[in-house]
Amino acid sequence: MNPVQNNVFYCLRLGNKPSDNKAFLANPTDIMTKYIFVTGGVTSSLGKGIISASLAKLLQSRGYRVTIQKFDPYINIDPGTLNPYEHGECYVTEDGAETDLDLGHYERFLNVPTSKANNITTGRIYQNVINKEREGAYLGKTVQVVPHITDEIKRNMKILGETGDYDIIITELGGTVGDIESLPFIEAVRQLRWELGSGNSLVIHLTLVPYLAAAGELKTKPTQHSVKMLLEYGIQPDILVCRTEHHLPQELRKKIALFCNVNINAVIESIDASTIYDVPLLMLKEQLDKTVLSKLKLPNKNEPDLENWKDFLGRLKNPTAEINIGLVGKYVELPDAYKSITEAFIHAGAKNECKVKVKCIHSENISAENVAEKLKGLDGVLVAPGFGSRGIEGKIEAIKYVREQQMPFFGICLGMQCAVIEFARNVLGLKEAHSIEMNEDTKDPVISMMEEQKKIKNKGGTMRLGSYTCDLKKGSKAAAIYGKSRITERHRHRYEFNNSYLEQFEKAGMIASGINPENNLVEIVELKDHPFFIGGQFHPELKSTVDNPHPLFVNFVAAALSYSKKK
């Protein structure tokens, strides 16, 4: 879309006639996509992803079309091959990219899907540059970090902006300012800001204002140093978002503003919140959105429409009941490993006005002898996704128990595969049934490798990834829960239900209620005579958002709630 079209569209979208915005139209530089860069200082884990998502939410609530992209300075092409202990959950997009878990926050807050273009790593940048070098595209030049790597970073930073689909692109830079590996990204931001011209981009620096208990004081020095470092790289931040445990007094804001060269209203307090879903409202109170719009020379006349968000928060904070769900997995020491699942429970809990307490249970610690005790007091069990054989028998024991006890069960990906194995062993009597992922020579491979996977050698980016269609069986629980007969869900796996066993399963009461219409892969299994026993080969947690809690999670929570009432 050319700039003029973009402007007309932009005005229409805001409900204005172009003539209402004469001043806006008059300045041609104001009609292009605007860019916001979010950097982090002092320490990692300050929550750049949440701040970016919260700002995006506020801008979206004022009628702007916003997306967020993340640039990660590590050399992996994507986080798909990273161990969850290293990197937390791997988030999968509709188009099948394996990405950073922050993209999950972006989608949960904005309710707009992201894509492969929303997450770029150093590895991807270098791979593109090296491929071009091999093609001879650099015409005999020496290929260098500046300009070739920085040019490739800038090209990637602009891809989403060039689609014409967005008014504002927020770019989150992973890592902390000062890290050696993030330097080319910072330099690319410096250059891009210059190219975009004034008023078309801004830099938000997220920093920490620590409280020293012994001195009884909040300290600004780390922020000053971190801004100084950004200045050394040629970047003057426009806005400082200060993470803090205590409110920032006016005097302290003034001091930060003076020493870091920003307006006082550009010193934004980001106080610790009881839930990440409070952060957009905290940022609204601090007028972060207004400051951003004025610096980007964009009109802010639409008041933010956050009714749905506030309604969600109201229900989240005033539950009328409480349930306990066991999350059985093997990465339970690290809460980020199952981030989307725990967030989906928050959405589903709010929908049911019910507090969902998620108790993580290490599957390696579950055995036939202790399973009753391990699952005591729970109202439902979710068996998590995963890879490899560690902890698999504990998952199977947990499933046997909840199947027999008629306790609500929800299996995701490997969790669904374990439910199939358990049913084969304990109901069909196929004692050695297994997935060939765990035992290649099993006599009864009820979970086998997908045909298309058999030839694959490389591990990275080669699973069955992204969105696939699934048809739901009439009269099944799945069809009732979704309220439709055709759905799409996101996948990330290599193994599948072995259809040669399907008849046996269905005769014994485990039915395939979701089937891929193109290749007949079983996507959902459920038990006929059980209040809630559902396993999905896909990852429903990746599509649960504040605005659209996932129906499988909503109904699982409802089932656990009625189980708890009957108890």
Is 515 in a helix, a strand, or coil?
strand
559 vs 323, 380, 407, CA distance in Å?
Answer: 10, 8, 9
Cβ 318 to ligand GLN shortest distance, Å = 34
Indicate whether 442 belongs to the interface with ligand GLN (CB under 6 A).
Answer: no
Which CB sits closer to ligand GLN, 372 or 456?
456
Cβ 385 to ligand GLN shortest distance, Å = 3
Angle ∠(470,106,556) on CA atoms, nearest 5: 45
Query: Which pairing describes strands 239-244 and 267-271: parallel, antiparallel, or unpaired?
Result: parallel
164 vs 2, 63, 153, 320, CA distance in Å?
Answer: 8, 15, 19, 45
Angle ∠(40,174,169) on CA atoms, nearest 5: 90
| Candidate list 68, 266, 375, 413; residue touching ligand GLN; CB under 6 A | 413
| Candidate list 243, 339, 403, 493; residue touching ligand GLN; CB under 6 A | 493
Is 119 in a helix, a strand, or coil?
strand
Cβ 110 to ligand GLN shortest distance, Å = 24
Cβ 412 to ligand GLN shortest distance, Å = 7
| Candidate list 62, 253, 492, 543; residue touching ligand GLN; CB under 6 A | 492
Indicate whether 494 belongs to the interface with ligand GLN (CB under 6 A).
Answer: yes
Which CB sits closer to ligand GLN, 126 or 387?
387
| Candidate list 414, 430, 478, 521; residue touching ligand GLN; CB under 6 A | 414
Which CB sits closer to ligand GLN, 109 or 338?
338
Annotate 52-78 with b (16+ C-beta within 10 A) or e (fewer).
Answer: bbbbbbbbbbbbbbbbbbbbbbbebbb
Query: Which pairing describes strands 217-218 and 239-244: parallel, antiparallel, or unpaired?
Result: unpaired
Nearest to 103, CA basis, from 121, 129, 81, 86: 121
- How many residues lie near ligand GLN (CB under 6 A)? 10
Indicate whether 437 belongs to the interface with ligand GLN (CB under 6 A).
Answer: yes
Indicate whether 434 belongs to the interface with ligand GLN (CB under 6 A).
Answer: no
| Candidate list 423, 495, 505, 556; residue touching ligand GLN; CB under 6 A | 495
Cβ 522 to ligand GLN shortest distance, Å = 12
DSSP string, 474-507: TTSHHHHHHTSSEEEEEEEESEEE-GGGHHHHHH
Which CB sits closer to ligand GLN, 385 or 391?
385
Indicate whether 465 belongs to the interface with ligand GLN (CB under 6 A).
Answer: no
Binding mask 288-327 for ligand GLN (x = CB under 6 A): ----------------------------------------
Cβ 72 to ligand GLN shortest distance, Å = 21
Helix (H) or strand (E) holding 195: helix 183-196
Angle ∠(118,11,7) on CA atoms, nearest 5: 65
DSSP string, 209-245: --EETTTTEE--HHHHHHHHHHHHTT---SEEEEEES
Question: What is the C-alpha separation between 453 and 163, in angstroms, rounded?
Answer: 34
Class of residue 215 by CB neighbours under 10 A (exposed 0-12, middle 13-18, buried 19+)? exposed
The beta strands (E) that lie in 177-315 are given as 201-208, 211-212, 217-218, 239-244, 267-271
Q: Is the peptide bond before 385 cis (omega within 30 degrees of 0)?
A: no
Cβ 259 to ligand GLN shortest distance, Å = 48
Nearest to 223, CA basis, from 479, 488, 42, 376: 42
Using the rule CB under 6 A, give the single segment among 273-281, 351-359, 368-376, 492-500 that binds ligand GLN: 492-500
Using the rule CB under 6 A, give the single segment among 96-104, 199-207, 300-308, 487-495 that binds ligand GLN: 487-495
Active site residues: 413, 539, 541
Structure-token match 């001043």, residue found: 23
Cβ 84 to ligand GLN shortest distance, Å = 11
Strand partners, 263: none
Length of the chain: 567
Q: Where are the alpha helices (DSSP H) in 38-168?
A: 48-61, 84-87, 102-110, 122-135, 150-158
* Residue 84 CB contacts under 8 Å (≥ 6 apart), including other chains: 90, 331, 334, 336, 337
Indicate whether 81 belongs to the interface with ligand GLN (CB under 6 A).
Answer: no
Whether the Cβ atoms of residue 154 and residue 191 lie closer than 8 Å to each other: yes
Cβ 237 to ligand GLN shortest distance, Å = 39
Window 358-397: residues binding ligand GLN (CB under 6 A): 385-387
Half-sphere exposure of 95 toward its Cβ, with a 13 Å CA cutoff? 7
Quickly count: other Cβ atoms within 10 Å of residue 517's Cβ.
Answer: 11
Binding interface with ligand GLN (CB under 6 A): 385-387, 413-414, 437, 492-495
